[in-house]
Structure 1
């Protein structure tokens, strides 16, 4: 790896992501194990372009937070919201945002390229964490991360975000994007989801069907649009004005209206999208796929894509505390 950009990215990824969030994940063995998807799958292809994968996660997190329950889950159960003396400032906590992104990257790289036991372990860990996320919103409505309706919404936002970023910004996007949607159902079922959309059209319909229950909470409003101007966050980092723009620019039109998004004039819009396309693909070209992808290729050499097998849990998970989950993750 002689490219200085690639070297810098690899060092940064190793320090900030791999060393912190890839512990215990196996990509090199056992030999012959294709994992959940395998070579030639749409998931392997989409997730091998890390810059668009990250952008897709940013977009997914944005639309996910349009559900007030999600906003309050994040406020009550994560470090995403910045606080001073326990009082929220309306900003995203940089370290909290980095931790959430790191866990998300390890999950979607691990379930794509990890061994079958690795993918199953990641799914069990996320399910266990969901079991701990229960509470009551300020308006008195209860929330529960195990609610089937919430799981379906959460799944639809994630697969939409990853697929949309791929279609818009990948140099060579899949011709049949529905193949990705069909394969990715396996991840949603492993997290306990049922009745999940399996095509682009079904996912769009699913997302829009939730519109009557969506709203901008103060948490969401304070951390989007003009409220992010001049916050000093680098353009590529979580909570930056530019990443916020990129996420809102990908939203379905009905969601853009809810988020008060107004497109720039056509010249500015084309310039922004082209600049982002060039940056994302330039970074990918400089760095290439992650070592974990190459390890998975060697592990599953000669194997065909895995046939679809339901990964839905077949027995109740043990009830663990957050501390116990983090200790075994």
Structure 2
């Protein structure tokens, strides 16, 4: 491995302490030799996911639009630490910054692991996420049941994620994929959705856009979502570069399709301010990437396939039902 510059070495130490040591446990990127994983070094996925700052921005945007589904809002409220609560368990109306950071770190681990990990690592991550989804079931306050294994939910979830990652890449990557190369990313990424149990998934940029808009009659800005967006985040004390900050929230809303922006009452600033904000974010994301370079997992994957690869596995769709596990058993897998 090449010697890292001081900034990259410092970043790696921080990433190792805060994320890698907690959320990358048991994931193999260095071997077995020649294993391409799910995609391989010539894939669009390897290129897109190698820019970690854009990947994070894409996940923030995906989480925002995903939460416009009321069932998703209540899944997060009932089954994650996203909602801040007082000592009696009553929600305060704020996002729990630590809970948001944990959720983001798990997502980073998943999308780095499925891109660059060995085939077994990618499959392990998919099994773990599927197992967690199996435990997310409940009833909304309006009496409607929700189930994270619902094919319609899986399709919505998939479309929001690939939209977020591809949109952030197009807007903020220094050298983004365009045209047929970008379409290849959409086609390749389908195998991630299939590995999580999704079916009938959109496989082009246009299909993803149509899929998202088709859910509009089911979407709403629930109280949970409203408390955690826009002016309600001003003065919450979260640093601009951390999950739950007003700046990250603006950047996510600014990525939204027009219909979604209208749903959440997003009004962009004047053109001069808008250009400045987007340019500043573009510069910041690329400066971080240029200064730190691809993370260790990417470098390990490159070394793993330096001598050539075999063909990736033909399909990532589950071939048999998963074992039934409790939430405690699932968390022990992660």
Shift of 1:304: 6.0
Alignment match, 2:38: 36
- Residue by residue over 1:124-179, the C-alpha shift from the partner in whole angstroms, topping out at 9 and shown as x without a partner, is 00000000000000000000000000000000000000000000000000122111
1:94 to 97, 118, 143: 97
Please tell me whether the aligned partners of residues 39 and 305 of structure 1 are also in contact (alpha carbons under 8 angstroms): no
Please tell me whether the aligned partners of residues 41 and 305 of structure 1 are also in contact (alpha carbons under 8 angstroms): no
2:232 to 223, 227, 233: 227
Q: Distance in 2 between matches of 1:92 and 1:309?
A: 41
Q: Does 1:192 align with 2:197?
A: yes
Alignment match, 1:278: 283
Shift of 1:90: 1.2
- Residue by residue over 1:222-281, the C-alpha shift from the partner in whole angstroms, topping out at 9 and shown as x without a partner, is 000000011110001110000000000000000000011001100000000000000000
Superposition misfits of 4+ residues, deviation over 3 angstroms: 1-5, 302-308
User: When the two structures are aligned, how many residues end up with a matched partner?
Assistant: 329
Q: Please state whether the residue corresponding to 1:56 is helix, strand or coil.
A: helix
Shift of 1:43: 0.3
Q: Distance in 1 between matches of 2:330 and 2:72?
A: 21
Please tell me whether the aligned partners of residues 263 and 269 of structure 1 are also in contact (alpha carbons under 8 angstroms): yes
Shift of 1:7: 3.3
Please tell me whether the aligned partners of residues 56 and 108 of structure 2 are also in contact (alpha carbons under 8 angstroms): yes
Alignment match, 1:56: 58
Please tell me whether the aligned partners of residues 134 and 149 of structure 2 are also in contact (alpha carbons under 8 angstroms): yes
Q: 1:99 to 1:249 in 2, by over 3 A?
A: same
Q: Does 1:181 align with 2:186?
A: yes
Alignment match, 1:5: 7
Shift of 1:8: 3.2
Q: Distance in 2 between matches of 1:79 and 1:2?
A: 36
Alignment match, 1:139: 142
Question: Which ranges in structure 1 are unaligned for 5 or more consecutive residues?
Answer: none
Question: Which ranges in structure 2 are unaligned for 5 or more consecutive residues?
Answer: none
Alignment match, 1:74: 76
Q: Please state whether the residue corresponding to 1:143 is helix, strand or coil.
A: strand
Q: Please state whether the residue corresponding to 1:297 is helix, strand or coil.
A: helix
Shift of 1:11: 2.0
- Please say which of residues 208-217 and 305-314 is displaced more in the overlay: 305-314
- Please say which of residues 85-94 and 26-35 is displaced more in the overlay: 85-94
Please tell me whether the aligned partners of residues 183 and 308 of structure 1 are also in contact (alpha carbons under 8 angstroms): no
Shift of 1:327: 1.2
Q: 1:306 to 1:173 in 2, by over 3 A?
A: farther
Q: Distance in 2 between matches of 1:270 and 1:308?
A: 43
Q: TM-score, normalised by structure 2?
A: 0.96
- Residue by residue over 1:64-95, the C-alpha shift from the partner in whole angstroms, topping out at 9 and shown as x without a partner, is 00000000000000011100021111111111
Q: Please state whether the residue corresponding to 2:84 is helix, strand or coil.
A: strand
